[in-house]
């Protein structure tokens, strides 16, 4: 009998939820969306931490892209190869510098001091090497562009 009344009431309301069950339905949606937000946030943090081991590889790759051998540069000196490689080197260095800056700024927050352990000297050295490689890559690309403009009149 109650089931028939509920069906009849649903027909009159055109399927809209109302009554005491509405509050719990809205609360469950809010909790569900909040959980989804925090899952996505945690996934982004996990991805950055997983990629942190690759930062050195990105820095070395960016440096290698900017400072390849002279003979090899002569062979691929065409703009179709050289300019995209330089853009990739700049992008890799910029991403590397941003990620290191972001990790250090998050580590320095007062709210994260209770959950962040002290940084090991090896990790500090690795970050310093990555910063140096990224800056060296940017410097080498800048020097290459300056020399190219001087010798050829364009980038």
Evaluate whether residue 5 is within a structural domain.
Answer: no
Q: How far is CA 136 from CA 21, 73, 149, in A?
A: 63, 18, 20
Evaluate whether residue 103 is within a structural domain.
Answer: yes
d(CA 40, CA 37): 5
Evaluate whether residue 82 is within a structural domain.
Answer: yes
**Residue 64 or residue 7, greater confidence:** 64
pLDDT value of position 2: 45
Evaluate whether residue 39 is within a structural domain.
Answer: no
Q: What is the pTM of this model?
A: 0.51
Per-residue model confidence as pLDDT tens digits over 43-55: 766 666 666 666 6
d(CA 102, CA 64): 24
Q: What percent of the chain has pLDDT over 90?
A: 11
Evaluate whether residue 47 is within a structural domain.
Answer: no
Per-residue model confidence as pLDDT tens digits over 63-92: 676 666 555 656 666 677 778 888 888 998
Alpha helices in 52-120 (DSSP H): 55-66, 70-75, 79-108
**Residue 14 or residue 140, greater confidence:** 140
Evaluate whether residue 77 is within a structural domain.
Answer: yes
Evaluate whether residue 147 is within a structural domain.
Answer: yes
d(CA 88, CA 4): 67
Q: Which tokens is 101 given? A: 């800056």
Domain with 75, as residue range(s), is: 52-152
Model confidence at 11, pLDDT cuts 50, 70, 90, reads very low
Q: Could you tell me if 96 and 59 are in contact, meaning their C-beta atoms sit under 8 angstroms apart?
A: yes
Please count the structural domains in the chain: 1
Longest CA–CA separation in the chain, Å? 92
């Amino acid at each position: 009998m109650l089931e028939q009344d509920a069906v009849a009431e649903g027909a009159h309301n055109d399927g809209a939820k109302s009554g005491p069950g509405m509050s719990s339905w809205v609360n469950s949606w809010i909790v569900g969306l909040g959980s989804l937000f925090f899952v996505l946030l945690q996934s982004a943090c996990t991805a950055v931490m997983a990629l942190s081991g690759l930062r050195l590889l990105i820095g070395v790759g960016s440096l290698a892209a900017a400072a390849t051998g002279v003979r090899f540069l002569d062979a691929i000196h065409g703009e179709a190869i050289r300019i995209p490689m330089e853009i990739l080197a700049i992008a890799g260095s910029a991403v590397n510098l941003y990620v290191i800056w972001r990790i250090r700024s998050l580590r320095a927050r007062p709210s994260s001091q209770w959950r962040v352990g002290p940084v090991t000297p090896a990790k500090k050295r690795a970050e310093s090497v990555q910063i140096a490689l990224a800056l060296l890559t940017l410097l080498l690309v800048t020097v290459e562009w300056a020399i190219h403009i001087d010798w050829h009149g364009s980038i």
